[in-house]
Structure 1
Amino acid sequence: MTKQLLKPDYIFESSWEVCNKVGGIYTVLSTRAKTLQAAFPDRIFFIGPDVWRGKDNPLFTEDEKALQGWREYATLNEGLKVRVGHWNIPGHPISILVDFTPFYAQKNEIYTQAWLDFNVDSLHAYGDYDEASMFSYAAGKVVESFYRYNLGAKDKVVYQAHEWMTGLGALYIQKKVPEIATIFTTHATSIGRSIAGNNKPLYDYLFAYNGDQMAEELNMQSKHSIEKQTAHHVDCFTTVSEITNNECRELLDKPADVILMNGFEDDFVPKGKKFDEKRKHARKVMLNMANKLLGTELDDDTMIIGTSGRYEFKNKGINVYLESLNRLTRDKNLKKEVLAFINVPGWVGEAREDLLERLSSDKTYDMPLEVPFITHWLHNMTHDQVLDMLKYLNMSNAADTKVKVIFVPCYLDGKDGILNESYYDLLIGMDLSVYPSYYEPWGYTPLESVAFHVPTITTDLAGFGLWVNSVVNHSGTLQDGVKVIHRTDYNYSEVADSIKDTVTEFSALSNQAIENIREHAAIIAEKALWKHFIQYYYEAYDVALRNARQRLSQSNDNN
């Protein structure tokens, strides 16, 4: 018989990325909101930082009437500066944005209390630690206030905090409102990311690393401390993939209670005739821009591939992608011209005037522009890792080479000045995407790719890659729609060859074979929809509520 899961009556979630689009957690929260809002209508509240004070936030619509009684009470009696409204995403959940700046005045007392209560070391804080912690504390105060004003012991309430940035608030609630069940989700351990980013081998030595010792070595004591103490003290500790769970076990000395894999909604993927039109348009835009930049005449038979994401040169595998493209230039079996994009925001300056001039003309050009690798000038042209590696590899983009590489170093938001299309509106035109990550707790970019029926290459060091292997019951192949390459600390060269071989294999396929692969990619994407993955959240709520209940009864017994 299956156990009846305890369900919360109210859910609070806090994250730095509520109504504030800065990274992958935004995608997790904003795509999941619709599913939870349907299950808990207006009983799920997202709490974010009011970083847009005095400016118009396009992601948030204030509603003076929402939660009016409590808001006025909290402002007048508790000095909390909050704005209440709706997040402008599917589901339009209630969102509470809090101004955390007043708490800076009490910073030392707050940190001292966290040390006394939970051994949180804030002594070595620097950078964004203070800002994140003051927001986190403010979010905890908001939930405490709301609970005291509106709810009571009969209500089952869950508070979910995302990343080390919200740990302090979760611990505050654990102490001040013990009736609320707490969940903490780490999307990547701060130490794991730092080890990988500092070019130290993470995986082969994971068993030998001591998280506290590494925190000292990497000057990360405070972030590591809040992350570790929160993981140990909340009612339910969660992470996003098996691979990150290994990190948690070794570096935080605590495995996750539940793994919350990142799903998504596919409502942004066009259907039927609209899909075909958008794909055609995307290819036209990309090929036209490439031809004007390179002085070539690449046609629609060109194989368009690409990578994208944050500019983490090693962690995201941008280096090994470039290495594979260089090897591809010498591959005799390559059957098509390849146009390879790197859509990664860098320190971008102006859109290129010379390229704009060509784009506004109907002429065809047979001479490339100078620096024919890049669409926008950078502020650091002489110290950019992508351009440096292209130079080091002696890549030319010459007319006679079958592989052309173009770096688009800006956010694809539809108004970059050159392509003027959004990221998804270009992704749909690709033939193949490549995300050979070295460090990737989950991996939304390959998942988005397969949602648009674009087969992808990733690695088993990405949570998504590992999940695909478990779905297809073997290492994902090109025929599955997701090629999952085995990656370790030391097999860089084999990974580069594997990417090269996969691109070459794809270039020789018939249209029918490609169609089949595209269908398989879409089938895998469907398995990752929130309607399937939301179940893990229900499990986490159940664990948190049961543990909170036990914690309360123990504390009552002790009293």
Structure 2
Amino acid sequence: MAFHEMLAPDYIFESSWEVCNKVGGIYTVLSTRVRTLLNLFKKDKIFFIGPFLHKKESNIEFIESETILDSWRKYANEQEGLKVRVGYWNIPGKPITILVDFLPFYEEKDIIYFQMWEKYHIDSTVAYGDYDDSCMFAYATSKVIESLYHFLQLQGKKVIAHLNEWMLGMAVLYIHKYLPTVATLFTTHATSIGRSICANNKPLYGQLSNYNGDQMASELNIKGKHTLEKLAAFYANCFTTVSEITGKECTQLLEKKPDIIIPNGFDSDFVPKGKMFETKKVKARSVLINVIQKLIGLSIPENAFLLATAGRYEYKNKGIDVFIETIYRLKKTYFDRPIIAFVLVPACLQGARADLKERLENAVSSQFPLPRPFITHELVGPLCNDPICEYLYYLNFTNEDDSQVKIIFVPSYLNGEDGIFNMVYYDLLIGMDLTVFPSYYEPWGYTPLESIAFHIPTITTNLTGFGIWAKSKGAKSDTLDLGVAVVERTDDNYFETAEAIKNIIVKYITKYDSSQILNIQRTSCALSKKAFWSHFIKYYLQAYDVALRKL
């Protein structure tokens, strides 16, 4: 259907737990899509809704305004008991954003849960962890949308409420029941039950057709989340997910086929250009190598080969275990220059290592390694309780002098204030020569896409939405010629996957000359441009059309 034939919303309300609150990939989805969305719709017709987290009262992500929606804010607070902050999300495009305090709704929690049981048979007693906070935030979000809908007199307008992840499932159900003239769009970025199956070391892909989502949710004790997500998928006017591989998962485990696949796009505005790119690259490598030298007590040449994996601490799902196994296998190959691998994965952190920080601040020329010369920060609790450290100990990864291959665990969130690097993730990423993201469960996969946007070739797997997309664009399983290699991974070929990745890395380091590598870097960047939001936004427009027509 042509764009001019589609039904387009007059107003869009979009909500996620990650609005002004960077936790994972959904933050990137929303924040990078804003500018493209604002090119199509008026700025004062799009509202993002996120959680007001009291521990972040000085949230740099949020710019509060006393004038935007001022009369509504006062009315909502005084007449409806809604405690909200109104302003802008501090990202390119600066969309109007409402942060809502969901804690007051805890007083009504039992009544809300009873209503959800009475109407939808959602058993909220079989839930744990972030379930309560998520549901109270979803309920608060729906009350905000309801309040604005009536205050702005949107009756007769085409209004979309776009709600992301199971955490906003209760908002889908509330709007369906109490605000039926608003079209709901529900996106699951990863099913709660699929993620749980993988996290509990159960095979997902080979057994997918044999799994019953409800049964597995009971077995894995996430019945509340799963039921909420499943019902949100059924009751939404349009149900979407981010990749074909997750679409199959939804069809089997939620028993609802997505109406539309809306792949995650990208905006390269934060990728430096021209001389700035080279300046940042040189600085990143200098900082990375300096930290390594101070940690391991050895001089590292400038031509050291730097590679990394990154993401949330999902040891198996993100393939962190496979990455470490791959680096271990690299030790058995001779290289004429050092290979330094970084695991950039935030963990339960105590703070920066005092001994390493002292060496860095005092520019100490060290001739001996620090204790535990494979980790840059202190963890809460013994290192043997941490899966990454445990595997490094098991493989005897002590970064000894005679090994050209070394590995460094950076367990801090790289926000520019970690105490060791004091640079944000992207400003360190640009210094890498290669990245590896051997995920087992990854509905899309922003980290490899970000990597190639920074001209850094990447290796991923066919079990990621991005990997499947890259294969459709010509990426191969055994070469980085197009800037991306997509290794075949299954439920049980763990060691084969590590060996395949090792072979690609060895070939890239030893067989390609500088001109070939430069060409691959350019090719990888060119591929990333095919995933810009300017190409992918059409799927959102289709989803809006489906939701409005179904309404």
Interval containing the TM-score (normalised by the shorter chain): over 0.9
Per the alignment, residue 284 of structure 1 pairs with 286
Aligned 8 A contact 2:172 2:235 in 1: no
- Which aligned pairs between 1:162-241 and structure 2 lie closer than 5 A? 162-241=164-243
State the Cα distance separating 1:49 from its structure 2 match.
1.4
Q: Which amino acid aligns with 2:488?
A: H
Give the letter for the 2:545 counterpart.
Answer: D
Q: Which residue of 2 aligns with 1:342?
A: 343
Q: For residue 115 of structure 2, what is the aligned residue in structure 1?
A: 113
Residue 542 of structure 2 aligns with an amino acid whose one-letter code is: E
Instruction: Assess, with a 3 A threshold, how the Cα gap between structure 1 residues 226 and 404 changes in structure 2: closer, same or farther.
Output: same
Partner residue, 1:527: 530
> How far does residue 277 in structure 1 lie from its aligned partner after superposition?
1.1
Deviation at 1:180, TM superposition (A): 0.7
Q: Contact conserved, 1:468 with 1:476, CA < 8 A, in 2?
A: no
Alpha-carbon distance in structure 1 between the residues aligned to 2:363 and 2:544: 59
Aligned 1:260-339 pairs, distance under 5 A: 260-332=262-334, 334-339=335-340
Per the TM alignment, residue 109 of structure 1 is displaced from its structure 2 partner at its CA by 2.2
Residue matched to 1:62? 64
Higher mean alpha-carbon deviation, 457-466 vs 45-54, is at: 45-54
Q: Which residue of structure 2 aligns with residue 553 of structure 1?
A: none
Structure 2: distance between partners of 1:194 and 1:466: 22
Match of 1:244 in 2: 246
Tell whether 2:22 aligns with 1:21: yes
Distance 1:70 1:353, change over 3 A: closer
Residue in structure 2 matched with residue 510 of structure 1 by the alignment: 513
Describe the SS at the equivalent of 1:86.
strand
Amino acid at match of 1:207: S
TM-aligned CA deviation for residue 475 of structure 1: 4.5
- The offset of 1:43, in angstroms, is 0.6
For residues 19 and 430 of structure 1, do their structure 2 counterparts lie closer, same or farther at Cα, with a shift above 3 Å needed? same
Instruction: Write out aligned runs for 1:3-14 (5 A).
Output: 4-14=5-15
Whether 1:491 and 2:493 are equivalent positions in the alignment is yes
Q: Secondary structure at the match of 1:312?
A: coil
Deviation at 1:144, TM superposition (A): 1.1
Structure 1 residue 393 corresponds to structure 2 residue 395: yes
Letter of the 1:346 counterpart: A
Q: Secondary structure at the match of 1:216?
A: helix
Change (3 A) 1:232 1:360: same
Equivalent position of 1:404 in the other structure: 406
What's the CA shift for 1:406? 0.8
Aligned residues: 547
Deviation at 1:362, TM superposition (A): 4.8
Aligned mates of 1:72, 1:398 — CA distance in 2: 63
**Are residues 227 and 16 of structure 1, via their aligned partners in 2, closer, same or farther at CA, if it must alter by over 3 Å?**
same
2:374 is aligned with what amino acid?
A: F
Rate the CA distance shift 1:222–1:273 in 2: closer, same or farther, 3 A.
same
Q: In the aligned structure 2, how far is the partner of 1:147 from the partner of 1:491?
A: 52
CA gap 1:512/1:128 in 2 versus in 1, 3 angstroms:
same
Corresponding residue SS for 2:440:
coil
Structure 2 residue aligned with 1:554: none
Deviation sequence 1:357-396 (CA, Å, 0-9, x none): 3324556433222211111222222312112111111223
Structure 2 SS opposite 1:39: coil
Moved more, 376-385 or 201-210: 376-385
Q: 1:88 maps to what in 2? A: 90
Question: Secondary structure at 1:61's aligned position in 2?
Answer: strand
Aligned to 1:441: 443
Q: What are the residue-to-residue correspondences of 1:116-155 with 2, within 5 Å?
A: 116-155=118-157
Per the alignment, residue 34 of structure 2 pairs with 33
Q: Which secondary structure does the structure 1 equivalent of 2:88 belong to? A: strand
3-state SS of paired residue (1:285): helix
Residue 547 of structure 1: aligned partner: 550
Please tell me the residue identity of whatever aligns with 1:182. Answer: T
Instruction: Give the distance between the partners of 1:340 and 1:35, measured in 2 at CA.
Output: 35
1:52 aligns with 2:67: no
Q: Distance in 1 between the 2:365 and 2:59 partners?
A: 42
**Corresponding letter in the other structure for 2:297:** G
Q: Report the Cα distance in structure 1 between the residues aligned to 2:313 and 2:251, rounded to whole angstroms.
A: 28
Q: 2:87 touches 2:97 (CA, 8 Å); kept in 1?
A: yes
- Matched AA of 2:354: E
Equivalent position amino acid for 2:241 in 1: T
- Check whether the contact 2:241–2:262 (CA below 8 A) recurs between aligned residues: yes
Flag the 1:286–1:474 CA change in 2: closer, same or farther, 3 A.
closer
Q: Secondary structure at the match of 1:161?
A: strand
Q: Give, in angstroms, the shift of residue 165 of structure 1.
A: 0.7
CA gap 1:264/1:243 in 2 versus in 1, 3 angstroms: same
SS in 1 for 2:54: coil
Which is worse superposed, 181-190 or 17-26? 17-26
Give the counterpart letter for 2:78 in structure 1.
L
Task: Give the aligned partner of residue 416 of structure 2.
Answer: 414
Q: Which amino acid aligns with 1:98?
A: V
Q: Give the distance between the partners of 1:23 and 1:2, measured in 2 at CA.
A: 34
Distance (whole Å) between structure 1 residues aligned to residue 424 and residue 436 of structure 2:
19
Moved more, 379-388 or 505-514: 379-388
**In the alignment, is the contact (CA less than 8 A) between 1:328 and 1:500 conserved in 2?**
yes
Change beyond 3 A, Cα 1:92–1:299: same
Q: Distance in 2 between matches of 1:54 and 1:233?
A: 33
TM-score by length of 2: 0.96
Paired AA for residue 77 in structure 2: T
Q: Which runs of 5+ in 1 are unaligned?
A: 549-559
Decide whether aligned partners of structure 1 residues 64 and 363 sit closer, same or farther in structure 2, where only a CA change above 3 A counts.
closer
1:84 is displaced (CA, Å) by: 1.4
Distance in 2, matches of 1:7 and 1:443, equals 29
1:126, CA displacement in angstroms? 2.5
Is the Cα contact below 8 Å between 1:12 and 1:46 reproduced in 2? Answer: yes
Task: Find the aligned partners of 1:363 and 1:144 in 2 and give their Cα distance.
Answer: 60
CA contact (8 A) 2:372 2:398 kept: no
Q: Is the 8 A contact 1:162 1:186 kept in 2?
A: yes
Residue 67 of structure 1: how far off its partner (Å): 1.4
CA contact (8 A) 1:476 1:482 kept: no
Moved more, 305-314 or 149-158: 149-158
Q: Is this contact kept in 1: 2:475–2:482, CA < 8 A?
A: no
Bigger mean CA deviation after superposition, 521-530 or 52-61 = 52-61
Residue of structure 2 equivalent to 1:556: none
**What is the alpha-carbon distance in structure 2 between the residues aligned to residue 530 and residue 29 of structure 1?**
11
SS at match of 2:481: helix
Task: Return the alpha-carbon distance in structure 2 between the equivalents of residues 126 and 346 of structure 1.
Answer: 21
Which amino acid in the other structure matches residue 103 of structure 1?
A: F
Classify 1:524/1:54 alpha carbon distance in 2 versus 1 (closer, same or farther; 3 Å). Answer: closer
Are the aligned partners of 2:478 and 2:504 in contact in 1 as well (CA < 8 Å)? no
Q: How far is 1:139 from its partner?
A: 0.8
SS of 1:345 mapped into structure 2: coil
Name the SS of the counterpart of 1:267 in structure 2: helix
AA aligned to 1:11 is I
Hey, what does 2:352 align to over in structure 1? 351
- Which whole-Å CA distance do the structure 2 matches of 1:188 and 1:476 have between them? 28
Asked if 2 retains the 8 angstrom alpha-carbon contact of 1:119 and 1:229, the reply is no
Name the structure 2 match of 1:538: 541
Distance in 1 between residues matched to 2:372 and 2:465, nearest whole Å: 36
Q: Secondary structure at the match of 2:73?
A: helix
**For the residues of structure 2 that align with 1:476 and 1:397, how far apart are their CA atoms?**
28
Q: Secondary structure at the match of 1:160?
A: strand
**Given the two structures, how large is their TM-score scaled by the length of structure 1?**
0.95
Matched to 2:26, the amino acid is I
- SS state at 1:275 partner: helix
